[in-house]
Structures are given as structure tokens and as C-alpha cells.
A and B are shown apart, each in its own frame.
Chain A
Amino acid sequence: MALAEGRTTTRIRKHGSIAEALGGFRLWWLVLPAFLFFLVFFIAPVMSLFALAFDKPVAGVVSFAGNLTLDNFARIFTRPLYYLAIVRSVGIAAVVAVIALAIGYPLAYVIAKTEHPGRNTLLMILVLSSMQLDTVIRMYGLMVLMGDQGLINGALMSIGLIEKPLPLMYNTFGVVVGLVQIALPFMILSLIGIIKAIHPSLEEAARSLGATRAEAFWRVTLPLSMPGILAGSLLVFALSVSSYVVPALMGGWKVMVLPIHIYQQIAETGRWQFGSAVAVVLFATSLMAVFIYHKAAVRSAGGRT
């Protein structure tokens, strides 16, 4: 209850009534626990690891030696194996976010508008179950479907539609499908609450003013869903851009993205300076992408995010 008390007092303070009497809580006190926690256990450790990126690469050395160099970055930006991976990582994550939105929104909409409790629970269970299953084993399921000898190719070949198996995996397509499969529930759950909160009367009002159903959706419901779309696509982007398991399994090592390089350098070869440098690049690129997206989204939503 103490926490709730804190919240309440804060609000009072902000809206200037009896706050002083209740002990001078300030709004930012709310964010303090999270902020400090992140500062100590995220920023400090990650920044000290990132410092390694500016150090001379030596296998198996973890402490910052102070041999300042930009060699690691020079290596990344001069070799196509790495700089193409930057483009590929961001591109794939962006495509995944778009696809997840395109097929996730309708499902979230259906769930939000299904008021029958049993049916609603069932739909929720279906979405949540798919999330809960371990990633590696889920990728096994996808490989059974999409492999050269998989169910899809097998079915198409047996009815004579194709002669040779379609290249469904061991390529970018397979990685995108895998990531969509993983990230879709995050999009859906980010949207359900927001869509539910949009009052049906708003859409009805638009229609009574002569808008078609599609127009009403496009002009009213969709803009009002923007916060959920923004949150969902950011989560999906972040999950996709940092995924190692999915590109490793679905890409068959043909789709080299940054997390694969990072994983290899850090967990296997022990060249942490170079691994950190790749991580710094991934981090910076993702932040930039998120920033640009955020700006664009704010503009398109007319400031409403």
C-alpha cells in the first residue's frame, strides 16, 4: 500500500493541492528505483564492457588495458561481412516489425472486440501458449514445416505444384518468418489493451457522420491505436534486432546478422574487444533507428504518442 500511497501523493503534488502536507513527494521519485537500478546494473556493467571496444583486440583479456585504438571499428566498417550485417540486421528487424503489425493488428482487434468471455479466454490462451514455448524447440517446429524436406515442400511436391523444394529457409525469408513467429505475440499483446480502450461510440459517431466503415477505422480507430502500435513495433524491433537463436537456426549461417558475430566473438572465440565493438555498433544503430521511427511516428500521429 505504501507504493500506492506514493503514487497518489505524487499526483496531488503535481496538481498542487495538499501535497506539501503529505511529505513533499515529487513526481520523479516514482522513476527513481527503476532509474537507479538501471544505472548500477545496466549502464555501469555495459559501459565498462563497451570500453573494451576501444582497446586493442587480444583473445581472452577482459580488463580494459588502455591501448586506445579504433582498429575494431575500422575492421567492422571496412569488411563487407560486418558492415553488410549492420544493414541486414536493421532491415530484417524493420521488415519483421511491419509484418508483425500487419498481421498482428487484425488479430489484436478481433481479440479486443470479442466480448464472449470463453472465446476471449481461448484466444488469449492461444496467443500466450505460442509465446511460452521455448524458442529453440519452436524453431524446430518451424524447421519441420519449412525445410527442404519439410511439410510445406512435401505437400506441394506431392500434389505436383513444384518439382524442386522451394527455398523457404536457410535464407533471409526463413529468418523473417522465424522472427515474426517469435515477435508476433508481443505486438498483439501491446495492441489489445489499447484497442479495447477505444470507445466504440467514437467509431459509431464517425459512421453516423457519413464515414464508411473503412474510413471510420482509418480515421478514428487506427490513429487512436497509435500508442500501442508504437510500443508494439518498438518491442518487436528490439527483440528481432538482438536475436541470435533465430538467425542461427533458420538462416543456416547464410544470414549473417550482428548478434551472430557478437555471439561468436564473445561466447566462442573470446575476442571481447571486437565483440564489444560489434555490440556498440548494433546498439548505436538500433538507437538511431528507434529514434528516427519515434520521430516519424510522433509526426504521423500528430503528436499523439
Chain B
Amino acid sequence: MKSTSKGILSTRRGFLKGSAAGALALGTGVNLFNINHAWSQDVTYDGAVFDGGGATLRIAEWGGFWQEIMRKELLDQFEKDFNCKIAYESSFPWFPKFVAGGPQKPPFALVNWNYGEMFKTASAGDFFTPLDEVVANLPNAKLIWPFATENGVGVTWSYSRYCYAYRTDLVDPKPANFKSFWEEKFAGKRGAYITSNGLQMDFFIAACKLFGKDQYDLEAGYEAMRKAMPMKISDFTGNMQTLLERGEVELAVQHDAEVYQQMDKGIKVAPMLWEEVKPILTQTKTVSRYIEPMEKKLAYALLNRTLETKLQSVMGSTFYQRPVNKDVVITENLASKGVTNTADSVAGYWTPDWKSYNENEEDIVETVNGIFAG
């Protein structure tokens, strides 16, 4: 309750200082929700370094090595420059934490998502600052490809492409297209994921689209999953890496960043990028809506820095992630795999209709679980 009541107090002071709209809002007895809203719109960021006055910025992002690199390449310096503290949380999932507290008590200010969970959270309540408003406060937004903000909810700052990974020494000829996954020779040797994994969601929707009328043709998707059995089901990508590495699986749904990393470690795998549809696995950030002004300003500043070429290159060299910043020169480790950063190469990325997926998720999870369990 502490932060909320402080919010009201400082909010009132702000209004008394002379915001006509605010005074009107107060006068007409608008609830805390709207007052906070009016206040938070006052936050603007112009790209300059400022003094955060020791404030805390609460962020949520992946842990382990990811956290280590983020700290080293971005956050430690940011804390120094902006005189603030970053509270880094890595215990996913974020969705339950948001809905447990409601929009006015967001657990984090700046959150890194994959699409599925982000859209689910967005549709569960008024949690995020509208994207237009966020973009308006990011001077570096003019440097990024348009697709990075086309999802309408958050700012994509890094991504990789969905693909198949196959064992180059065990698979001959190499898979030709999306439907190669269903070839008889891969029975029991193909790998996909549990329904809660984002890779599986994209794979499933792509299967609906390519085997059926459109991406909403769930029956076609179910039929495709049925036909893919027997297959190995993994719950996360790291586990799939070991299955591939040990030859338990010869062809697996993957995203290309993982495959490139494995290639450079000497594992005999290669990616087969889908061309029929081109879904991407994104790292996308949202700024929470109802937070203290200073924290919001810091969130903008950090997000803005995330879009700079320096960090984008680091993401390429360490995690084999692709940049969204148009000016980034692709690092050698990715360039050698044929990855480019041109208007042509980023054209045609496909984002499934996540709203529809989430509405049908209950059925999809239940049906696909049933298929996998046999």
C-alpha cells in the first residue's frame, strides 16, 4: 500500500501546481486509476543522461548467463550513469505476477517477454504504457526496423528466426521445407515442445496455416500434430539441444540463434529456415503503466539504451541474436552463417494472431496434451 498512497499524495501535489486537466479530473471525482494515468503521461524522456536520485528500477529479464551479460554490458554502467539501482528479477513467468497484483501494483517497470506471454498479459488488463507513448519517448526508436514495434504492445529489441535444426551427419537429404518434418524417416526422431513453450505455439499456428485454410484452422493443426507422432517432446530448448547433440532427435523445431551456437561449438547441426512463413522469436520489452514517474523515466532511458548499436552487437556476438537497429553491422559469428541486416532480409516476418491463440489456448493445450500423451 505504501507506494500507492505515496502516489496519490505526490499526484495531488502535482495537480495543485496547476494542471488544468488534472484539477478537472480531481473535481469530478475520478478515481485513483485515472489520476495516476494523467500523472504518468507527464513523463518524457529526451535521450539525455539524468540523475535518478538513487531510485530503483525494477526489471524482469532472463537469468543465468543472460543476466551476467546484461549486467556487464549494460546495467552496471547504466546504474552509474543515471545514479539508480536496478532490481533484477529472473524468476519467470511474469504473467502470474502481474495479474496477482493488478495493473496498479505492477511488480516490475520494464519487462522482457516472448510474444505469447506478453499478449496474454496485455489482454488481462491495463498493465502497459501504450506503445505510441513509449516510442515517443525513445529517441533511438527512429533507428530501428518498423517490424520491431508492429506488434502493438512492446518494443522488440532483439530476435531470432524460427527454424528446424537437423543433424547434418544423420539427415540426408537435408529437409527441404516446413512439411519435411512429417517425413516418415523422422518418426520417433523428430522433436517438438510442450504447449507452454513459445516455439511450440508458433510451430502449431504455422502448422494450422500451412496444413489448413488459415492460421485459425485448429483442426488442421491438431491433425498435423497427430501425424507427427511418434515424436520426442521437450519442455525447453536447452533440453532439445542435448537431445539433438546425443542423436536422440535428428530434426527439431528450434530458433536459429541456438543452432548457430551449437554449430560453433562443434555439434553437427544446421538450421533449415522456413520460408513458407517467417515467424520470429522476439525479445520484446514493455514499460508498465502505473509506476512512479522517476521509475518510468528510468525505464525509458534503459530501453532507449538497449536499442543502441553497442548492445545490439553484443547480443549478436554472445547470444547469436539478430539486431533491430538498422545501423548494426552483423558480427562475424552471424555473418558467416549468412545472416544480414538489410531491409530485404527483415521483410515479411510473420506474427501470428496471438489474441486468437490465447482465446483458444485452453482447447489447444488440452487437445495437444492428449495427442502427445498418446
User: Is B361 in the interface zone, CB < 8 Å from A?
Assistant: yes
Q: How far is the CB of B128 from chain A (nearest CB, A)?
A: 14
With a cutoff of 8 Å between Cβ atoms, the chain A residues found around residue B100 in the complex are 62
In the complex where A148-B248, A149-B247 touch, is A60 in contact with B95 (Cβ < 8 A)?
yes
Let me know if A149 and B358 touch, CB within 8 A: no
Q: Give chain A interface residues in 256-293, CB to chain B under 8 Å.
A: 256, 261, 264, 266-272, 274
With a cutoff of 8 Å between Cβ atoms, the chain B residues found around residue A249 in the complex are 235, 239
- Contact flags (1/0) for B143-176 with A, using CB distance below 8 Å? 0000000000000000000000000000000000
User: Is A213 in the interface zone, CB < 8 Å from B?
Assistant: no
Q: Give chain A interface residues in 73-110, CB to chain B under 8 Å.
A: 79, 81
Let me know if A269 and B232 touch, CB within 8 A: no
User: Is B27 in the interface zone, CB < 8 Å from A?
Assistant: no
With a cutoff of 8 Å between Cβ atoms, the chain A residues found around residue B248 in the complex are 147-149
With a cutoff of 8 Å between Cβ atoms, the chain B residues found around residue A147 in the complex are 243, 246, 248
- Contact flags (1/0) for B64-107 with A, using CB distance below 8 Å? 00000000000000000000000000000101100110000000
Choose one: B243, B366, B374; the contact of A254 (CB below 8 Å): B374
In the complex where A59-B124, A59-B361, A269-B365 touch, is A253 in contact with B233 (Cβ < 8 A)?
yes
User: Is B196 in the interface zone, CB < 8 Å from A?
Assistant: yes
A contact residues, range: 20 to 34
User: Is A54 in the interface zone, CB < 8 Å from B?
Assistant: no
Q: How far is the CB of B202 from chain A (nearest CB, A)?
A: 15
User: Is B318 in the interface zone, CB < 8 Å from A?
Assistant: no
In the complex where A266-B96, A268-B93 touch, is A252 in contact with B233 (Cβ < 8 A)?
yes
Q: Give chain A interface residues in 192-207, CB to chain B under 8 Å.
A: none
Let me know if B372 and A253 touch, CB within 8 A: yes
Let me know if B362 and A79 touch, CB within 8 A: no
User: Is B120 in the interface zone, CB < 8 Å from A?
Assistant: yes
A149 to B232: give the CA distance in the assembly, Å.
13
Let me know if A81 and B370 touch, CB within 8 A: yes
Let me know if A60 and B369 touch, CB within 8 A: no
Q: Give chain B interface residues in 110-132, CB to chain A under 8 Å.
A: 120-121, 123-125
A81 to B120: give the CA distance in the assembly, Å.
25
Q: How far is the CB of B235 from chain A (nearest CB, A)?
A: 5
Choose one: A57, A143, A254, A274; the contact of B233 (CB below 8 Å): A254
With a cutoff of 8 Å between Cβ atoms, the chain B residues found around residue A143 in the complex are 242
Chain A residue at minimal CB-CB distance from B232: A252
Which DSSP category, helix, strand, loop or mixed, fits chain A's interface?
loop
User: Is B373 in the interface zone, CB < 8 Å from A?
Assistant: yes
Chain B residue at minimal CB-CB distance from A144: B246
With a cutoff of 8 Å between Cβ atoms, the chain A residues found around residue B196 in the complex are 264, 267-269
Q: How far is the CB of B107 from chain A (nearest CB, A)?
A: 13
Q: How far is the CB of A224 from chain B (nearest CB, A)?
A: 44
In the complex where A59-B358, A62-B99, A254-B373 touch, is A264 in contact with B120 (Cβ < 8 A)?
no
Q: How far is the CB of A19 from chain B (nearest CB, A)?
A: 46
Let me know if B242 and A60 touch, CB within 8 A: no
Q: How far is the CB of B4 from chain A (nearest CB, A)?
A: 17
Choose one: A79, A253, A267, A268; the contact of B366 (CB below 8 Å): A79
- Contact flags (1/0) for A223-258 with B, using CB distance below 8 Å? 000000000000000000000000011001111100
A170 to B234: give the CA distance in the assembly, Å.
10
User: Is B195 in the interface zone, CB < 8 Å from A?
Assistant: yes
A270 to B125: give the CA distance in the assembly, Å.
13
A144 to B243: give the CA distance in the assembly, Å.
9
User: Is B43 in the interface zone, CB < 8 Å from A?
Assistant: no
In the complex where A81-B366, A266-B96 touch, is A140 in contact with B373 (Cβ < 8 A)?
no
A60 to B126: give the CA distance in the assembly, Å.
12
Let me know if A267 and B96 touch, CB within 8 A: yes
Let me know if A269 and B372 touch, CB within 8 A: no
A58 to B365: give the CA distance in the assembly, Å.
15
Extra contacts besides A249-B239, A253-B373 (20): CB < 8 Å: A57-B362, A59-B361, A79-B366, A81-B370, A143-B242, A148-B248, A150-B246, A253-B194, A253-B233, A253-B235, A253-B369, A254-B372, A256-B369, A261-B369, A264-B195, A264-B196, A267-B196, A268-B196, A270-B96, A272-B96
13 A-B pairs with C-beta separation under 8 A = A60-B99, A60-B120, A60-B121, A62-B96, A147-B243, A149-B248, A170-B232, A252-B234, A254-B233, A261-B369, A266-B96, A267-B196, A270-B99
